[in-house]
Structure 1
Amino acid sequence: MARVVVSLKIFPADIDVNLDTLKEKIKASLPSYAAIYSFEEEPIAFGLTVLIAHIILPEDRAGGLDEIERSILSVGDVSDIQTIMVRRA
């Protein structure tokens, strides 16, 4: 089964959000078929740092990306998500 890597830019709700805690909440919120490959932190402006999450999921999972975005947005400390890239692993 082929897999894809999805890179998402995840914006915290506030500059005071603990990013390590947010990473753990995001990991816990993902569906069972998805897994975190890695996280990166990217400073934006005025003290705001966004997370870049690289997530692996099966290529044949219809609607998988939408479900992942909904599950991450359900985490209380996330204000927005942008899909940066989707490619085969």
Structure 2
Amino acid sequence: MARVVVSLKIFPADVSVNLESLKEKVKNALPSYASIYKFEEEPIAFGLVALIAHIVLPEDLAGGLDEVENRIQEIGDVSDIQTLMVRRA
């Protein structure tokens, strides 16, 4: 089964959000078919740092990315999500 890597930019609600804690919350929010490949941190402005999550999903799963985005958006420390890239793994 082919897999895809989705890169999501996750914006924390404010500068006081602990990024290590947010990483754990993102990992725990993922459905069973999704897994974290890696995290990166990207400084935005005024001390705000966005989290770039690279997530591996099955390619043939309809609606999989929508469910991942919805689950991450439900985390209280997340203000917004932006899909940066989707590519085959």
Q: Specify the TM-score bucket, using the shorter chain as the normaliser.
A: over 0.9
Task: Give me the CA root mean square deviation.
Answer: 0.3
* Equivalence for 1:81: 81
* Equivalence for 2:61: 61
Question: Is 1:25–2:21 an aligned residue pair?
Answer: no
* Equivalence for 1:49: 49
Which residue identity lines up with residue 69 of structure 1 in the other structure? E
Query: What is the CA distance between 1:41 and its match in structure 2?
Result: 0.3
Task: Report the TM-score when normalising by structure 1.
Answer: 0.99
Q: How many residues align?
A: 89
* Equivalence for 1:15: 15
User: How much identity, in percent, do the aligned residues show?
Assistant: 78
Runs (4+) of structure 1 exceeding 2 A deviation are: none
Task: Report the TM-score when normalising by structure 2.
Answer: 0.99
SS at match of 2:61: coil
